[in-house]
């Protein structure tokens, strides 16, 4: 088998790791939490970083009127099919199509990735902004608007007594690797076809 | 005037001399205190290297300290009610203090000992004896809570206890006061020959740690003062010091001090175990409580046991021998190798050390020196390994550093003396402040001591701390024993009166220390694991409130339909699953303590409202930013009122 094909197929297969490994992680640090608390975002669920973390984040957040972190989201129904679709498409391209299609697959993955991040942002925005008007603690920004508690999309941010970290996890790294492999496969394939 | 000058000159000289001495001491201790401070300083946020479990004596409890800092972390309630933790007050733990004499809310806790495997500390449990109403308690070292207490029948002054054998096969309890066995109405003056001393061997289940009296050895009516297990070659034997072999029943300070030598009783428990396993011994009617706390139901149950297996020592020849030991021995300590048994004749200046191998040889060669009630007495010369001569006054207890040295406390001369095993020479002595009783080296009663520190436990402190009226604290003193000479590092106050202590490296316990109780494992019959299931149930005059706590509210927090004369049981489940988030609860006028409920736990208290009105309850542990808002009301109507039973949270009762 051509090297380009192998690279492409390996890249595609890496996506399967998303069914096991977390995509993203949000970690909260606070003086009272010498062991930080947080949760991992998978394609099909939110999971405690350590037992009971989500429950404890909810308890903390209810004081400022934030909704509970949902046990499930509609996206969790959809995402596994999207990933399966991307894998199947990748396999078909890898086995049947020529190297130019590898780039097509990469672009499709980029679009899907962007949509995923945009969806994540919408959820975060809602989570940080839709606050109960009966909240025990209601902070205001200097301009008088209600303070929001949206975690960062990517990076680190201080929210009251918490420092929130939002970063990709192993699943996402493997996804990126897979996507880069498809690009490498494209260039290798082009070189192979030039010979 | 001239004379006066002369006198004052002499006085100045004397003073100068004394101060000179003092100064040399001072500068010495000054230099030391600099480095001593560093040695005991545990920086904020850092952890101590060792746990020290120091008995509370007449407080009935067991205190947990860190070494080398001497900081107190927790007082584990064992034999005494503790209103702070609701131990012995809440419905769940009241049965822990049940005895054949009914509810006994206090005891005199003495000798903690950590469980062992192959002669080394394994950190599963710590046992401690109640001296007054004879009991042995077991504390679980994952929760640091008392989980089992067994009463000892036929015993009184449960003092030569609660030491464990090399694999925690048994925890052993000996009686200090001999009594009629079975108890009966008889003249006190007929003590001699009629009273008996029971030595109890309590088996410890290797799986769940459950305690059960395997057998009681019914010994002559001596006072069995202290004991220690054999180890290594002497594993399978247990050694008990005795005094009052005179069998006096009055003015013991005189009449029990007449014999030049009392005994250390060597008991081959393996032999007796075999005898018992083959159907030996006699089942005797008895009545004693066995109280077990379940971590799943968060409740204790008390069962009265009606029978105990007793063994007559003369029926098991070759199992028990008496080793003559001078001057009413108190401590009876076995070195890490198991070869030497140290008897501390408390009215003597010497320590007497017996040799286990010589003892075995003497038994084989039948070098006896008579018998006591049919139990052979071995010839002193045949078993004696040597003695530490003129080591101090009033030796009490010895611990070992695992480097070939013994450390003995001397009550009367108020000092700790370091001496060498085998050569019996004194190496060093350091004063204690004052009148030291026990001492403890972490692992000092095991094959593997951690010979870095020794803790001396003093009976008297007088001027050592700022005064607190006539009753002043007792204290412990920490010495560095890593060098040739001991170095006093630290004084720290203790709860109650510290008797023995047990210590171990922090690593042995820290990682197993439980953080929360899992809610899904809570099997308390009145537990509710979510707010939707909370309710109030009336059963005649009894009302059961199934309540929950979570930051920062009770559910329900409004209750109506309670009547004067009701017995209202509040069963409160803490729904938290976060480390160090207990909730407390207290009810105005409740004739009991607060509850302090750990995450995932259920506890209950009884409230019997006596007055009509609306009565508040609140959270007693500052749980959160909205802790002050964590409160509720109970409406109490007159007896026979038609106000219906209702409860709610977050809305007004309709």
Boundaries of every domain in chain B? 396-514, 519-648
* Nearest chain A CA: its distance from B623 CA (Å): 12
Distances (CA, A) of B607 to B91, B350, B536, B546, B567: 11, 59, 14, 14, 6
In whole angstroms, what is the distance from residue B32 CA to residue B231 CA? Answer: 37
Residue B398: which of B389, B407, B390 has the closest Cα?
Answer: B407
How much is the pLDDT for B35?
87
The answer to the question of residue A18 being in a domain is yes
How much is the pLDDT for B651?
85
- Total domain count for chain A? 1
pLDDT class for A33, splitting at 50, 70, 90?
Answer: very high
pLDDT class for B34, splitting at 50, 70, 90?
Answer: low
B578–chain A Cβ distance below 8 A for any pair: yes
How much is the pLDDT for B140?
98
How much is the pLDDT for B626?
92
In whole angstroms, what is the distance from residue B627 CA to residue B617 CA? Answer: 13
Backbone angles phi, psi at B143, to 5 degrees: -110, -15
**Residue A113 is inside which H or E element, if any?**
helix A100-129
pLDDT at B95 > cutoff 90 = yes
Q: Which residues of A143-161 are buried (b: 16+ CB within 10 A; e: fewer)?
A: eeeebbbbbbeeeeeebee
Backbone angles phi, psi at B357, to 5 degrees: -65, -35
| Structural contact between residues B481 and B451, judged by C-beta atoms closer than 8 angstroms | yes
The 10s digit of each residue's pLDDT in B310-365 is 999 999 999 999 999 998 999 999 999 999 999 999 888 899 999 999 999 999 99
Pairing, β B223-229 against β B299-311: unpaired
Backbone angles phi, psi at B197, to 5 degrees: -115, 120
In whole angstroms, what is the distance from residue B436 CA to residue B543 CA? Answer: 53
In whole angstroms, what is the distance from residue B24 CA to residue B555 CA? Answer: 68
List the alpha helices (DSSP H) in B142-224: none
* A chain contacts of residue B626, beta-carbon cutoff 8 Å: 63, 136
pLDDT at A157 > cutoff 90 = yes
Give the 3-state secondary structure of residue A141.
coil
The 10s digit of each residue's pLDDT in A163-192 is 999 999 999 999 999 999 999 999 999 999
Q: Can you tell me the mean pLDDT for B306-312?
A: 98
Pairing, β B558-563 against β B631-637: parallel
Per DSSP, chain A holds a count of helices (H) and strands (E) of 5, 5
* B residues 498..527 contacting A (CB < 8 A): 516
pLDDT at B23 > cutoff 80 = no
* A chain contacts of residue B47, beta-carbon cutoff 8 Å: none
Q: Can you tell me the mean pLDDT for B541-550?
A: 98
B577–chain A Cβ distance below 8 A for any pair: yes
How much is the pLDDT for B6?
54
Please name the member of B577, B578, B626 whose beta carbon is closest to the beta carbon of A63. Answer: B626
Q: Which tokens in the block code for residue B225?
A: 């003062």
In whole angstroms, what is the distance from residue B458 CA to residue B497 CA? Answer: 8
> What whole-number percentage of chain A has pLDDT above 70?
100
Q: Can you tell me the mean pLDDT for A9-14?
A: 96
Query: Is the peptide bond prior to B533 cis by the omega test (within 30 degrees of 0)?
Result: no
State in words which class domain B396-514 has: mainly beta
Q: Can you tell me the mean pLDDT for A94-109?
A: 94
How much is the pLDDT for B24?
42
In whole angstroms, what is the distance from residue B603 CA to residue B524 CA? Answer: 9
The answer to whether the Cα torsion of B400, B404, B408, B413 is positive or negative is: negative
pLDDT at B90 > cutoff 90 = yes
* A chain contacts of residue B516, beta-carbon cutoff 8 Å: 52
Please name the member of A52, A63, A137 whose beta carbon is closest to the beta carbon of B578. Answer: A52
CA angle B597, B77, B467 (to 5 degrees): 115
pLDDT at B654 > cutoff 70 = no
Interchain proximity B625–A63, CB inside 8 Å: yes
In whole angstroms, what is the distance from residue B201 CA to residue B164 CA? Answer: 10
The 10s digit of each residue's pLDDT in B486-519 is 999 999 999 999 999 999 999 999 999 999 999 9
| Structural contact between residues B391 and B410, judged by C-beta atoms closer than 8 angstroms | yes
The better pLDDT of the pair B405, A194 is held by B405
- Which residue of chain A is at minimal alpha-carbon distance from B553? A59
Residue A109: which of A20, A172, A167, A193 has the closest Cα?
Answer: A172
Tell me the count of A-B CB pairs closer than 8 A: 19
pLDDT class for B29, splitting at 50, 70, 90?
Answer: very low
How much is the pLDDT for A193?
87
B307–chain A Cβ distance below 8 A for any pair: no
Residue B39: which of B62, B18, B12, B68 has the closest Cα?
Answer: B68
- ipTM score over 0.85, yes or no: yes
Per DSSP, chain B holds a count of helices (H) and strands (E) of 6, 46
**Residue A74 is inside which H or E element, if any?**
helix A74-96
In whole angstroms, what is the distance from residue B149 CA to residue B137 CA? Answer: 4
Q: What is the mean pLDDT of chain B?
A: 94
Residue B476: which of B418, B409, B393, B404 has the closest Cα?
Answer: B409
Interchain proximity B551–A55, CB inside 8 Å: no
**Residues paired with B613 in a beta bridge:** B636
In whole angstroms, what is the distance from residue B594 CA to residue B86 CA? Answer: 6
Interchain proximity A56–B578, CB inside 8 Å: yes
* Nearest chain A CA: its distance from B523 CA (Å): 19
* B chain contacts of residue A56, beta-carbon cutoff 8 Å: 577-578
Interchain proximity A59–B625, CB inside 8 Å: no
pLDDT at B435 > cutoff 80 = yes
Q: Can you tell me the mean pLDDT for B545-551?
A: 97
* A chain contacts of residue B576, beta-carbon cutoff 8 Å: 59
How much is the pLDDT for B283?
98
The answer to the question of residue A70 being in a domain is yes
Q: Cα B76 from chain centroid?
A: 10
Interchain proximity A59–B576, CB inside 8 Å: yes
Please name the member of A51, A52, A59 whose beta carbon is closest to the beta carbon of B551. Answer: A59
In whole angstroms, what is the distance from residue B156 CA to residue B178 CA? Answer: 7
* A chain contacts of residue B630, beta-carbon cutoff 8 Å: none
Q: Can you tell me the mean pLDDT for B286-306?
A: 98
How much is the pLDDT for B83?
98
For an interface test with A, give the residue of B513, B520, B579, B630 to mutate (most A CBs within 10 A).
Answer: B579
CATH superfamily, domain B519-648, is Cupredoxins -  blue copper proteins (2.60.40.420)
Block residue for tokens 């350091």? B430
- Indicate the DSSP class of residue B446: S
- Which residue of chain B is at minimal alpha-carbon distance from A60? B551
The 10s digit of each residue's pLDDT in B174-221 is 999 999 999 999 999 999 999 999 999 999 999 999 999 999 999 999
pLDDT at B222 > cutoff 50 = yes
Interchain proximity B577–A56, CB inside 8 Å: yes
In whole angstroms, what is the distance from residue B416 CA to residue B479 CA? Answer: 10
* Nearest chain A CA: its distance from B577 CA (Å): 6
The answer to the question of residue A104 being in a domain is yes
HEC secondary structure over B564-625: CCCEEEEEEEECCCCCCCCEEEEECCCCCCCEEECCCCEEEEEECCCCCEEEEEECCCCCCC
Q: Which residue range forms the structural domain that includes residue A17?
A: 3-190
Q: Can you tell me the mean pLDDT for A74-98?
A: 94
Query: By a Cβ cutoff of 8 Å, what residues of chain A touch chain B?
Result: 51-52, 55-56, 59, 63, 136-137
Give the 3-state secondary structure of residue B484.
coil
**Residue A191 is inside which H or E element, if any?**
helix A170-194
The answer to the question of residue A195 being in a domain is no
In whole angstroms, what is the distance from residue A105 CA to residue B609 CA? Answer: 75
In whole angstroms, what is the distance from residue B270 CA to residue A67 CA? Answer: 65
Residue A99's Cβ-count burial label (10 Å; 0-12, 13-18, 19+) is buried
For an interface test with B, give the residue of A52, A132, A134 to mutate (most B CBs within 10 A).
Answer: A52
How much is the pLDDT for B3?
55
How much is the pLDDT for B596?
98
How much is the pLDDT for B30?
45
pLDDT class for B293, splitting at 50, 70, 90?
Answer: very high
In whole angstroms, what is the distance from residue B111 CA to residue B96 CA? Answer: 19
In whole angstroms, what is the distance from residue A188 CA to residue A194 CA? Answer: 10
B625–chain A Cβ distance below 8 A for any pair: yes
Pairing, β B395-400 against β B340-345: unpaired
pLDDT at B1 > cutoff 50 = no
- Which residue of chain A is at minimal alpha-carbon distance from B520? A52
How much is the pLDDT for A156?
97
In whole angstroms, what is the distance from residue B370 CA to residue B378 CA? Answer: 8
**Residue A91 is inside which H or E element, if any?**
helix A74-96
How much is the pLDDT for B7?
52
- Which residue of chain B is at minimal alpha-carbon distance from A53? B578
**A57 Cβ partners below 8 Å, 6+ apart?**
A28, A37, A38, A39, A69
pLDDT at B15 > cutoff 80 = no
In whole angstroms, what is the distance from residue B626 CA to residue B553 CA? Answer: 9
């Amino acid at each position: 088998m051509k090297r380009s094909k192998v690279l492409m197929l390996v890249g595609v297969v890496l996506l399967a790791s998303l069914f096991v490994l977390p995509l993203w992680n949000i970690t909260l640090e606070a003086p009272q939490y010498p062991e930080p608390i947080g949760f991992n975002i998978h394609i099909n669920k939110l999971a405690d970083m350590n037992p009971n973390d989500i429950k404890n984040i909810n308890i903390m957040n209810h004081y400022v009127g934030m909704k509970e972190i949902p046990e499930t989201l509609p996206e969790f129904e959809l995402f596994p099919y999207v990933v399966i679709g991307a894998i199947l498409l990748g396999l078909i391209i890898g086995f049947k199509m020529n190297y130019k299609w590898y780039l097509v697959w990469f672009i499709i993955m980029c679009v899907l990735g962007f949509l995923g991040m945009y969806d994540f942002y919408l959820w975060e925005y809602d989570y940080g902004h839709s606050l109960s008007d009966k909240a025990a603690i209601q902070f205001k920004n200097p301009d008088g608007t209600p303070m929001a508690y949206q975690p960062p999309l990517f990076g680190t941010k201080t929210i009251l007594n918490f420092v929130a970290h939002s970063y990709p996890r192993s699943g996402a790294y493997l996804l990126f690797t897979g996507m880069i492999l498809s690009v490498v496969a494209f260039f290798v394939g082009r070189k192979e076809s030039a010979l | 005037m001239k004379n006066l000058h002369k006198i004052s000159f002499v006085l100045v000289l004397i003073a100068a001399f004394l101060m000179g001495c003092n100064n040399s001491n001072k500068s010495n201790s000054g230099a030391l205190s600099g480095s001593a401070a560093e040695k005991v300083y545990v920086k904020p946020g850092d952890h101590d290297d060792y746990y020290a479990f120091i008995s509370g004596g007449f407080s009935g409890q067991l205190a947990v300290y860190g070494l080398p800092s001497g900081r107190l972390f927790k007082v584990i309630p064992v034999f005494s009610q503790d209103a702070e933790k609701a131990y012995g007050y809440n419905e769940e733990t009241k049965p822990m203090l049940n005895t054949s004499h009914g509810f006994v809310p206090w005891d005199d806790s003495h000798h903690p000992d950590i469980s062992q495997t192959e002669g080394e500390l394994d950190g599963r449990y710590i046992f401690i004896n109640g001296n007054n109403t004879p009991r042995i308690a077991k504390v679980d070292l994952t929760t640091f809570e008392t989980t089992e207490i067994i009463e000892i029948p036929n015993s009184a002054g449960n003092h030569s206890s609660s030491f464990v054998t090399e694999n925690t096969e048994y925890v052993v309890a000996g009686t200090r006061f001999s009594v009629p066995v079975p108890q009966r109405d008889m003249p006190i003056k007929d003590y001699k020959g009629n009273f008996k001393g029971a030595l109890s061997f309590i088996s410890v289940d290797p799986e769940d740690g459950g305690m059960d009296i395997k057998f009681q050895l019914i010994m002559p009516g001596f006072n069995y003062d202290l004991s220690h297990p054999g180890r290594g070659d002497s594993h399978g034997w247990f050694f008990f010091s005795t005094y009052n072999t005179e069998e006096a029943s009055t003015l013991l300070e005189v009449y029990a001090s007449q014999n030049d030598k009392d005994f250390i009783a060597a008991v081959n428990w393996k032999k007796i175990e075999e005898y018992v396993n083959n159907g030996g011994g006699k089942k005797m009617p008895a009545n004693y409580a066995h109280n077990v706390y379940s971590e799943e139901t968060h409740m204790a149950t008390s069962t009265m046991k009606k029978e105990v297996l007793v063994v007559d020592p003369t029926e098991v020849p070759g199992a028990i021998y008496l080793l003559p030991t001078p001057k009413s021995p108190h401590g009876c300590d076995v070195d890490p190798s198991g070869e030497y048994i140290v008897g501390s004749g408390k009215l003597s200046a010497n320590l007497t050390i017996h040799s286990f191998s010589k003892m075995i040889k003497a038994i084989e060669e039948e070098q006896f020196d008579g018998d006591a009630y049919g139990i052979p007495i071995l010839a002193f010369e045949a078993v004696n390994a040597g003695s530490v001569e003129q080591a101090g006054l009033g030796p009490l207890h010895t611990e070992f550093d695992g480097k070939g040295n013994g450390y003995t406390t001397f009550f009367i001369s108020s000092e700790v003396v370091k001496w060498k095993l085998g050569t019996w020479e004194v190496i060093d002595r350091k004063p204690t402040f004052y009148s030291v009783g026990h001492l403890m080296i972490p692992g000092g009663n095991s094959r593997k001591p951690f010979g870095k520190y020794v803790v001396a436990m003093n009976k008297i402190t007088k001027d050592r701390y700022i005064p607190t009226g006539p009753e002043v604290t007792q204290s412990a003193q920490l010495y560095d024993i890593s060098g040739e000479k001991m170095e006093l590092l630290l004084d720290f106050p203790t709860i109650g009166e510290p008797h023995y202590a047990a210590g171990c490296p922090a690593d042995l316990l820290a990682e197993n220390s439980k953080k929360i109780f899992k809610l899904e494992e809570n099997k308390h019959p009145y537990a509710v694991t979510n707010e939707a299931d909370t309710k109030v149930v009336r059963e005649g005059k009894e009302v059961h409130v199934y309540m929950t706590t979570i930051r920062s509210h009770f559910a329900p927090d409004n209750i109506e339909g309670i009547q004067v004369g009701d017995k209202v049981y509040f069963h409160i489940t803490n729904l938290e699953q976060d480390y160090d988030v207990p909730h407390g609860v207290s009810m105005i006028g409740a004739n009991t303590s607060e509850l302090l409920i750990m995450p995932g736990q259920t506890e209950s208290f009884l409230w019997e409202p006596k007055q009509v009105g609306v009565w508040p309850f609140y959270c007693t542990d500052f749980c959160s930013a909205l802790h002050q808002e964590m409160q509720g009301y109970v409406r109490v109507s007159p007896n026979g009122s038609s106000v219906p039973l209702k409860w709610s949270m977050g809305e007004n009762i309709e």
